[in-house]
């Protein structure tokens, strides 16, 4: 990947990772394992700091809605986005994800402050 040299800069001080993929492409299903390994496991981030988004293009096959991913991806929060049908659902899921990240960041900051004090 020609952008691999940029990855450390992208990852520096990141609090979350959103991986968007096309569930109809077998190559994408393999690639998300690599993205998860590089951007989540090697940082390391918590699984709760990662969101998987299976994006369905207009007129795409419906059977990919019942997507079952292999371990360790099956531990992650997975949402299906279909902006034609449920844009509001997708927006609500993103809001939940960002709220959970803020909670994690706040808790981490509190732990740091307590360790400085004690």
Kindly report, residue by residue over 71-107, the tens digit of the pLDDT.
999 999 999 988 777 788 899 999 999 999 999 999 9
3-class DSSP state of 13? coil
User: What is the structure's pLDDT at 4?
Assistant: 76
Mean pLDDT calculated for residue range 50-55 = 95
| Cα 33 from Cα 50, distance rounded (Å) | 12
3-class DSSP state of 78? strand
User: What is the structure's pLDDT at 82?
Assistant: 83
pTM comes to: 0.82
User: What is the structure's pLDDT at 87?
Assistant: 82
User: What is the structure's pLDDT at 36?
Assistant: 94
Contact 73, 33 (CB under 8 A): yes
3-class DSSP state of 73? helix
User: What is the structure's pLDDT at 85?
Assistant: 76
What are the start-end ranges of the H helices in 1-118? Answer: 7-11, 26-36, 87-117
Average pLDDT value for the chain? 87
Q: Which position has the token pair 């190559």?
A: 27
pLDDT digits (tens, 9 = 90+) for 28-47: 888 999 999 989 998 889 99
């Amino acid at each position: 990947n020609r952008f691999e040299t940029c990855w450390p800069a992208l990852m520096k001080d990141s609090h979350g990772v959103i991986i968007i993929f096309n569930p109809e492409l077998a190559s994408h299903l393999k690639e998300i394992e690599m993205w998860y390994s590089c951007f989540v496991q090697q940082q390391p981030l918590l699984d709760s700091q990662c969101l998987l988004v299976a994006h369905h293009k207009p007129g795409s096959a419906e059977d990919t809605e019942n997507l079952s991913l292999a371990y360790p991806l099956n531990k992650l929060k997975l949402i299906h986005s279909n902006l034609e049908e449920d844009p509001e659902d997708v927006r609500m899921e993103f809001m939940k994800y960002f709220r959970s990240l803020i909670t994690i960041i706040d808790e981490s900051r509190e732990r740091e402050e307590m360790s400085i004090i004690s």
